[in-house]
Structures are given as C-alpha cells and as structure tokens.
Amino acid sequence: MKHLIMIEMEGCPYCANAHRAMDALRAEGYDEDVCVIFLDENKQPEQVQPFAGEYYYVPSIFMDGEKLYEAQPGDSYDKIYAAVKRAFDAARAD
C-alpha cells in the first residue's frame, strides 16, 4: 500500500472537511491502514517545495508525485468526501 501526501493550511475550511472525511471513512472501518502524511504549506515550506507549481488550492492530495485531488472554491463536504475516498482507494490498490 502506498502513502498519500495531503498539503494543507491551518484554518482552511476545505482542509478541515478533508480531515472530517478521513475520520468518517476510518470510523466506517474503511482502510484504517491508509497512511496519510500531512504537510502544512505555511509551517513546512521546504517539504512542500517539491510540489510547487503542481497545485494552487488546498487541500491537495498526492500519491507518488501524482495529484489525485485539489480542492476548488465552493467544494462541498460531499465532493471532498468522495475525493478522499477515491484517494484511499488508489493508495489501497497499489
């Protein structure tokens, strides 16, 4: 199983919804084994640097350098939940 990287920012409501979606999936017993590495864009700029130019909005979720999801303004919780679920599926498939 591969790990996911989620780039986020403190105080971002879309990031909070992504965390909420991950918690909900895990509470449902959905892939407790999926490893997500969280990188805060403001607190860990050197670790986010390899992704520069690959995303504009947060949260953005990557696996093996490929962007699986990038939030867009106005994304609902349901859309974020579905994207996180797809990312979990991708991590589990490999």
Q: Give yes or no for a contact between 7 and 47, defined as CB atoms under 8 angstroms apart.
A: no
Mean pLDDT value of segment 49-55: 95
Instruction: Indicate whether 46 pLDDT > 70.
Output: yes
The residues spanned by each domain of the chain are: 4-93
Q: What residue spans of the chain are helical by DSSP H?
A: 13-27, 45-48, 77-93
**Band of residue 61 on the pLDDT scale cut at 50, 70, 90:** very high
What is 4-93's CATH topology?
Glutaredoxin (3.40.30)
* Residue 2: CB atoms within 10 Å: 12
pTM above 0.75, yes or no: yes
Instruction: Indicate whether 1 pLDDT > 70.
Output: no
Instruction: Look at the block and give the residue holding tokens 């670790």.
Output: 47
